[in-house]
Structure 1
Amino acid sequence: MGSLLKKRGWIIGFILAAVLFPFLSQNDYFLHIMTLAFIWMIAVYGLNLLAGYTGYLSLAHAGFFAIGAYALGLLTVKAGLNYWVSLVLACLLTSAIGAVVGLVALRTREHFFAIYTLCVGYIIYLVIDKWDSLTGGVRGLIGIPAPTNIGPLSFETPLSQYYLILFFLLLTVFVMYRIVHSLTGRTFIAIRNSEDLAQTIGISTMKNKLLVFVISTFFAGLAGALYASFIRFIGPDIGYITIIFDLLTYLLVGGIGTLAGPIVGTFLIVTVSQSLQFLQDYRMLIFGPLLTLLIIFYPRGIVGAYHDWRMKSWAKKKKQTEKKQKYVQQQSRETEKKIKEG
């Protein structure tokens, strides 16, 4: 019960901090950076569900992020569709392409799966870069509209877009929490722990792997679409290989296979990167070794290390309590023995 209350306290604290942040900082640049961080968090949550809870590391995640962004851009700029219709279609299109890719990719395992998805991600980048008539090639897409009004709600200002993307982030966290703590989530974890054992107890591993792969691409597409409408300009570089390594860095630092990891890792890396901006190109000389040391000594990330510390503390307290109980029982027996002898 205490653990549950503590967990809810952290969630309420995060929501309050996010809601009050614009009023505390009152800086448009910081607001812009935090909004981008929220978008990356949504993308990292999709990657975390697949890699952290199912054990399949997809290196095509940046490609699906780019598909979501370009789908929204093309549907709004060239097709002239309503923003919200385009957003839904962009997510569905990304998921459909993810399903097709997953049907082939998920027949492989471990490093073969990672290599295959890396190739798929690069192919997506090349298609976006070379299909000049559709995507604009290296020129990219410009003039992507901001989210259209919903009744009296307008999303033209940076502050309103900040709260809109925060809403989608909180919705993503809620959905992930429900998935992870459901029977489906336990099935994903069973596949991660031992796919062969999962098959022997009757779990349809291919069906569940395809499901989690599609869900992962859906959130990548959602993040990409939100990114396109926030930046209002996109180029093929958003699907390049470096993006997936950035997402992996956020996940590994925060804690792979944890619900809070994507938020903690993304926020920490973005904050540290911005703090070291004054060093320009030399900031990676500091940031790189720090990241390497963190991954070496805390392979489960910051959140994973915190969970391990809590488990060790709990086990230590339990051991001390058991010792005290044994000591009390021993003293009680000795007292009873003395009374009988007396």
Structure 2
Amino acid sequence: MRWRAGWLWLLVFGLAALVPLFVRSGYVYDVAINIMIFSIAAYGMNVMLGYAGLLPLAHAGFFGIGAYTVGILTLKAHWSFWLAWPVGVAICALLGLLLGLVAFRTRDDVFAIFTLGVGVIITQVINKWDALTGGNDGLNGVTRPTLLGLDFDKSASFYYLALLSLALTVFLVARVRASLFGRSLLAIRGGEDLARSAGIDVYTHKLRVMMLSTALAGLAGGLYAIYVGFLGAAITGPVTTFTVLLYLLAGGVGTLAGPLLGTLIIRVLQQSMQGLADYQYVVFGPILVLLVLFFPAGLAGLWARLRPARAANGREVAGAGI
């Protein structure tokens, strides 16, 4: 079955790569690029929540750190985006390690509350450090890069950059999931004491997955910075974190397709309800409650549950024929 999943992902990304050949609408590009950027952020949250059972509520803070690192280095230090982007990812991974050294002295709800507090602190630092971040005025004029004569200021070119970044993220997360490290994380999610009794170094594994999670958040943030061209402290706040969490819950926590599927569905719904402005969450709230009550594994989990049922029905039909 694993090889079938691999071919399915190749088909999905192959079809996505053909979109610019048929689409010329800037609006469609904008929606698609935002879906891919925030899917990467959702994958970063998924490796923590879905694989290790840890809820990181400072996720938007690291998304913002990745974005502001790219913005500051390209605008003020005049670095190339291609250098600033990996530096931003590395800084997020390092700060994730430092956060983990403290945060993993707590567990469960206390961990979530602690990381939420760290996220608020990150927002306040960005908002108040006027000389570096622009404070309330933010950073404006972050420009898109060029590479070997290819101008990423064009929608189609940036679309491919975002698509390639998403494909590499999915590949990385899939490799992690199938590795001994990934299986150890699932054991930790099942119970830390039991994982320790099986010889798993729980603390080290949690630090490593924290670094991976924050690095992916920084990766998405760096893309976001050059795509929108303007950065404000609001993107680092709890609203962004809970929005990414909503994408993940809708798609399926702990699944490989869930972050992409959830982001796709919710972002399309958000675009269709733009006229509701801030009242969108009055609609999304009940949707989230219904998802948790009736589809706790999300849409990807529902699909996984239906597959065995269809297979069983197929065997029954085949048996009747015999």
Report TM bin, short chain: over 0.9
The answer as to 2:301 corresponding to 1:301 is no
Instruction: Give the Cα–Cα distance (whole angstroms) in 1 for the partners of residues 110 and 21 of structure 2.
Output: 48
Cross-structure match for 2:99:
101
Q: Secondary structure of 2:146's partner? A: coil
Contact 1:250 1:265 in 2 (8 A): yes
1:282 Cα deviation from its structure 2 partner: 5.1
The answer as to 2:233 corresponding to 1:241 is no
- Going from structure 1 to structure 2, the CA distance change for 1:148 and 1:290 (only over 3 Å counts) comes to same
1:26 Cα deviation from its structure 2 partner: 2.1
Given candidates 249, 263, 267, the residue that maps to 1:266 is 263
The answer as to 2:227 corresponding to 1:230 is yes
Between stretches 239-248 and 88-97, larger displacement belongs to 88-97
1:238 Cα deviation from its structure 2 partner: 0.7
Cα deviation digits, residues 4-35 of structure 1 (max 9, x gap): 45423421331133112233332101101110
Instruction: Give the Cα–Cα distance (whole angstroms) in 1 for the partners of residues 278 and 230 of structure 2.
Output: 25
- Going from structure 1 to structure 2, the CA distance change for 1:300 and 1:271 (only over 3 Å counts) comes to same
Map of 1:172-321 to 2, 5 A cutoff? 172-280=169-277, 283-314=280-311
Instruction: Give the Cα–Cα distance (whole angstroms) in 2 for the partners of residues 5 and 221 of structure 1.
Output: 30
Cross-structure match for 2:50:
52
1:108 Cα deviation from its structure 2 partner: 1.0
TM normalised by structure 2 equals 0.94
Paired residue type of 2:199: G
Paired residue type of 1:246: T
Paired residue type of 1:15: F
Cα deviation digits, residues 251-291 of structure 1 (max 9, x gap): 00000000000110000001111122245555544443233
Instruction: Give the Cα–Cα distance (whole angstroms) in 2 for the partners of residues 292 and 114 of structure 1.
Output: 20
Given candidates 137, 162, 167, the residue that maps to 1:170 is 167
The share of aligned pairs that are identical, in percent, is 43
1:154 Cα deviation from its structure 2 partner: 2.8
Given candidates 132, 144, 147, the residue that maps to 2:130 is 132
Instruction: Give the Cα–Cα distance (whole angstroms) in 2 for the partners of residues 280 and 142 of structure 1.
Output: 24
Instruction: Give the Cα–Cα distance (whole angstroms) in 1 for the partners of residues 248 and 255 of structure 2.
Output: 9
Instruction: Give the Cα–Cα distance (whole angstroms) in 2 for the partners of residues 225 and 105 of structure 1.
Output: 25
Larger Rg: 1
Cα deviation digits, residues 79-116 of structure 1 (max 9, x gap): 11121111111111111111111100011111010000
Paired residue type of 1:244: T
Instruction: Give the Cα–Cα distance (whole angstroms) in 2 for the partners of residues 113 and 280 of structure 1.
Output: 32
Q: Secondary structure of 2:254's partner? A: coil
Given candidates 130, 141, 144, the residue that maps to 1:143 is 141
TM normalised by structure 1 equals 0.88
Cross-structure match for 1:113:
111
Contact 1:77 1:144 in 2 (8 A): yes
Cross-structure match for 2:8:
10
Paired residue type of 2:154: T
Cross-structure match for 1:41:
39
Cα deviation digits, residues 40-95 of structure 1 (max 9, x gap): 00111010001100001100000000110111111111111121111111111111
User: Which consecutive unaligned segments of at least 5 residues does structure 1 have?
Assistant: 329-342
